[in-house]
Structure 1
Amino acid sequence: MIPSKRLVASYIFDWIVIIAIAALGGGVNNITPNYRPFSLLDLSISFPYVEKEKIPTWLLIVAGLVIPGVIIFLVCLIFVPGPVVSKRTSKALIWRRKFWEWNTGWMGLGMSVATAFMLTQCMKQLFGKPRPDLLSRCNPNVDAVSTHRLGGDGMGLSPLWELVGATICQQADKGIFNDGFRSFPSGHSSFSWAGLLYLTLFLCSKFAIAIPFLPPRPYTTDTPVFEPSPNPTHSILPTHHQNPTTKTPSASPPASVPLRNQAAAPPAYTLVIALIPICAAIYICSTRYSDFRHHGFDILFGSFIGVVCAYFSFRWYHLPIRRGAGWSWGVRSRERAWGVGVGVTGYVGAEGWGSKDREGGGLENGREEAV
């Protein structure tokens, strides 16, 4: 089958957009932040400046992006498409599914960390909140408080109890100085949660790690009922109640399976798979507090950004964990790859994802679903 160039180009453009979002965040980081006024007697910004961070930026990238990317690749390479695939399925279809799950897994990860990075960097520059170690970075000229005074009503208590501007600082290193006004929100927190929570959601999806869930089943006359298998080792599958000799529906009332037997909890050890990335994100956040880089609220809000970006990006490319059987969404249709008009229900269509001159392959003949 010859893939549609139009469709392939639309997903290449997805990658371009994701990279552009990350580049925007990196570009914004070079802008001088807003300098919020501060007081020289403010104890919340008087912590010492720690030169060696527990989690430097390069290690954050490894933990929040590189390691999740490697794990996603290995899971797709080894476990996809899973044991439900027929042994007669061609190798080409199997490798197509592996590549598709790998691509969507990486696109979701890229969107998550890129969006969190861009939002965090923009907010840092806009708010200009002092870090807990600002005074150590600033090296203020204490004798010139009156010259740099911007506000405050504390002169009756102390001449230093004033709001002063950043011009009072004598720090020669502009990098250290400007970074002192980028406390809100925490970039380490948002980035780590964006990458590591996304990894947790991905692993939970692939290995069905979720609280048992019963999807709603609207009543129809064609809805199959559940019958207990005569062999307890066999799984319970939906089937129509039929007479084994006539192959027609029986007049006797069909058997049903109790609700408690329609779902089961995963093995408890699988929680370790889900919790390790989360625990790593929590540890990274804690280092920003112990290294005096962020206030508590900065870390909480940065974590919130990362959590929202991770969930949004996962659901953008993947089915719900409890109802998706570990799969990502299918490909867009060829004709709807770049957008749809008013009144069109979605981005899939009957024509599949092959090129126009080869209508026989792909989704339209149902082989892709079998993979």
Structure 2
Amino acid sequence: MPRNDLAAGSAICFSNRPGFLGALGRFCQRSYAADYVALICLIVGWIWIQLFVNPFHRMFYLDNKSIQYPFAEVERVPVLWSIIYAGVIPFLILCTWAAMFRPGSHKVHVTILGFFVALMLTSFLTDVIKNAVGRPRPDLISRCNPRKGTAEDALVAWTVCTQTNIHVLQEGWRSFPSGHSSFSFSGLGYLSYFFSGQMHVFRPRTDLGRCLLALCPFLLALMIAISRLDDYRHDVYDVTCGSILGLIVAYFSYRRYYPPLRSPTCDIPYDKSDKTPDGFAKLPDDEEQQVQRQGESSHSWDEEAYQLGGSTTAQ
């Protein structure tokens, strides 16, 4: 039996049980409770990382030119504005879309749920990778303020730093991947995927105006990512990897609730009551269906031949 069939069978058996376990199984099958539980876990994990986890401090050379850029006191896109650009504004756009077109409660529900899942999953993965890698930022020396007399041509640890602002110092080892880039491409990328699906951008002979409208969120996310290069907070490698991470998570979250963008029904989300949603369950392929048809036709032919022979013998 295929793996998907085994999983579906086990879920059905679990929901058919009497008592609390059966009720819980039926509730999870008919609702998005498991998604909300996972989303809450992501939020709690992200908050825990922000409060209690310090990054790995890689050793560095004071004469390393790639980390000698100045520390920008004023950022072009601060953290708060990146949240507004990639989180608040797309959310308000989705709410405006829901109020204007009234697509139905289920469609609005899964669209906004997928949006928040994309944002939180991206933020959680980005911070986990940042703290595990511990890559120095291009402005690390300016943040560190190393003690006078420290050897410039020898590997030194973070203990040579005299920076009194702990947050500024710890952020110096959170360069990879770019959080602004991953977050912006996650929120705005999800919005772009959503626009593409609702307007059927990949339908043959779609007008250029729809395509440009669907690409607008991508352009804004790209400008936010480039601002991190201008502020010397990250290099090209950090920004590129962060952007790719945000795009992948956004597409993953969008596809959990919507069909592929090339599907004729790409603007209609999956129905939770669907037993075999497209892409999540194995359906018999053409060969299996052909074998089944041949077996059924040969079986019916044998029965007819038997009845014909019996009637001839009786005569």
TM bin, normalised by shorter chain, reads: 0.7 to 0.9
Unaligned runs of 5+ in 1: 82-97, 146-159, 213-264, 347-371
What does the per-residue CA deviation read over 1:240-296, in whole Å, with 9 as the maximum and x for residues that have no partner? xxxxxxxxxxxxxxxxxxxxxxxxx11211122112101100000011000010111
| Alpha-carbon distance in 1 for matches of 2:221, 2:176 | 18
Q: Secondary structure at the match of 1:190?
A: helix
Unaligned runs of 5+ in 2: 1-24, 284-315
**Out of 24, 32, 37, which is 1:16 matched to?**
37
Check whether the contact 1:200–1:274 (CA below 8 A) recurs between aligned residues.
Answer: yes
State yes or no: 1:118 paired with 2:163: no
Per-residue deviation, 1:332 = 3.5
Per-residue deviation, 1:298 = 0.5
State yes or no: 1:193 paired with 2:185: yes
What does the per-residue CA deviation read over 1:23-49, in whole Å, with 9 as the maximum and x for residues that have no partner? 312321331111000100011101111
| Alpha-carbon distance in 2 for matches of 1:112, 1:119 | 11
- TM-score, normalised via structure 2 length: 0.75
Per-residue deviation, 1:109 = 0.8
**Paired positions, count:** 254
State yes or no: 1:134 paired with 2:140: yes
Aligned to 1:320: 260
Aligned to 2:4: none
What does the per-residue CA deviation read over 1:96-119, in whole Å, with 9 as the maximum and x for residues that have no partner? xx1111111111111111111111
Aligned to 1:64: 86
| Alpha-carbon distance in 2 for matches of 1:78, 1:8 | 30
Check whether the contact 1:111–1:313 (CA below 8 A) recurs between aligned residues.
Answer: yes
Q: Counterparts in 2 of 1:224-239, with a 5 A limit?
A: none
Q: Secondary structure at the match of 2:170?
A: helix
Aligned to 1:330: 271
State yes or no: 1:274 paired with 2:214: yes
| Alpha-carbon distance in 2 for matches of 1:8, 1:50 | 50
**Out of 107, 110, 115, which is 1:109 matched to?**
115
| Alpha-carbon distance in 1 for matches of 2:29, 2:282 | 21
Per-residue deviation, 1:11 = 1.2
| Alpha-carbon distance in 2 for matches of 1:66, 1:211 | 30
Check whether the contact 1:29–1:125 (CA below 8 A) recurs between aligned residues.
Answer: no
Check whether the contact 2:135–2:173 (CA below 8 A) recurs between aligned residues.
Answer: yes
* 1:295 maps to amino acid: D
What does the per-residue CA deviation read over 1:42-93, in whole Å, with 9 as the maximum and x for residues that have no partner? 1110111111111111111111111111212222332354xxxxxxxxxxxx
Aligned-residue Cα RMSD (Å) equals 2.2
**Out of 161, 172, 178, which is 2:170 matched to?**
178
State yes or no: 1:164 paired with 2:122: no
Per-residue deviation, 1:170 = 0.4
Percent of residue pairs bearing the same amino acid type: 31
Residues 49 and 58 of structure 1, relative CA distance in 2, 3 Å threshold? same
Residues 9 and 174 of structure 1, relative CA distance in 2, 3 Å threshold? farther
* 1:25 maps to amino acid: W
Residues 32 and 168 of structure 1, relative CA distance in 2, 3 Å threshold? same
| Alpha-carbon distance in 1 for matches of 2:29, 2:36 | 11
Aligned to 2:21: none
* 1:183 maps to amino acid: S
Aligned to 1:79: 101
* 1:65 maps to amino acid: G
Check whether the contact 2:126–2:179 (CA below 8 A) recurs between aligned residues.
Answer: yes
Residues 7 and 33 of structure 1, relative CA distance in 2, 3 Å threshold? closer
What does the per-residue CA deviation read over 1:159-180, in whole Å, with 9 as the maximum and x for residues that have no partner? x211110000000111100001
Residues 180 and 74 of structure 1, relative CA distance in 2, 3 Å threshold? same
Q: Secondary structure at the match of 2:208?
A: coil
Q: Relative to structure 2, which stretch is displaced further, 117-126 or 15-24?
A: 15-24
| Alpha-carbon distance in 2 for matches of 1:181, 1:321 | 38
Check whether the contact 2:28–2:34 (CA below 8 A) recurs between aligned residues.
Answer: no
Check whether the contact 1:22–1:117 (CA below 8 A) recurs between aligned residues.
Answer: no
State yes or no: 1:302 paired with 2:302: no
More helix by proportion, 1 or 2?
Answer: 2
State yes or no: 1:42 paired with 2:34: no
State yes or no: 1:143 paired with 2:149: yes
| Alpha-carbon distance in 2 for matches of 1:312, 1:63 | 21
| Alpha-carbon distance in 2 for matches of 1:8, 1:54 | 46
Q: RCO higher in 1 or 2 (8 Å CA, sep ≥ 6)?
A: 1
- TM-score, normalised via structure 1 length: 0.64
Check whether the contact 1:319–1:329 (CA below 8 A) recurs between aligned residues.
Answer: yes
Check whether the contact 1:133–1:293 (CA below 8 A) recurs between aligned residues.
Answer: yes
